Structure 1
Amino acid sequence: MNLDNQSKYLIGQIISDKRDKTVTVRIDRKVKHPLYGKIITRSKKYHAHDEHNQYKVGDVVAISEARPISKTKSWRVIKVVKIN
């Protein structure tokens, strides 16, 4: 799948695949501390839909915005970037 035609996508690492048809993806970003200037890694977790339970912990995947699938899940895994 081509990422160019996706409205919004993020790339992150799967940290949990214990739920049925759901993976938890951690997205890391680098920010500069406002006062001291040090580069800090900030992270956020997203729940993404995995229809066939094919992605495993450690895989780097691209996730895309989707309609709300459940209370906490409004992202969908679109492709694997790197397999662990």
Structure 2
Amino acid sequence: MALKEKVGVVVSTKMQKTIVVLVENKFRHPRYAKTVVRTKRYLAHDETSQAKLGDKVILLQSRPMSRHKHWVLKQVLQKTNS
């Protein structure tokens, strides 16, 4: 079984070793053919606290680390200017 990956934007870094990442899912509505955007927030483990607010990151699925945290930061794709 291949591990899942998700790409999103960091929206919170207030916890220790944990980031909150907003992931967008775009799909066409089956009846109306309009593009629908759904968002979901994932908690991810960031051991070295390298991700900052607004960074674009890749998450990798992992074992459950807490009640809601089942993802690990794999890579920071794009840093923010601030």
Q: What TM-score, normalized by structure 2, do the two folds share?
A: 0.89
Equivalent AA in structure 1 for residue 18 of structure 2: T
Letter in 1 for 2:21: V
SS at match of 2:50: coil
1:6-51 superposed Cα distances (whole Å, 9 cap, x missing partner) = 6211111101111111000111011112332110111111000011
Q: Quick one: distance in 1 between partners of 2:63 and 2:22?
A: 20
Match of 1:71 in 2: 67
Q: Secondary structure at the match of 1:35?
A: coil
User: Alignment identity in percent?
Assistant: 38
1:57 counterpart = 2:53: yes
Structure 2 match to 1:13: 9
1:26-41 correspondence runs (5 A): 26-41=22-37
Structure 1: runs of 5+ lacking an equivalent: 1-5
How does the TM-score come out when normalised to structure 1? 0.87
Normalized per residue, which structure has more strand?
A: 2
**Which residue number in structure 2 is paired with residue 80 of structure 1?**
76
RMSD of Structure 2 on Structure 1 (CA): 1.2
Consecutive aligned runs of 4 or more in structure 1 exceeding 4 Å deviation: none
Letter in 2 for 1:50: D
Paired with 1:8 and 1:38, the residues of 2 have a C-alpha distance of: 27
Amino acid at match of 1:57: L
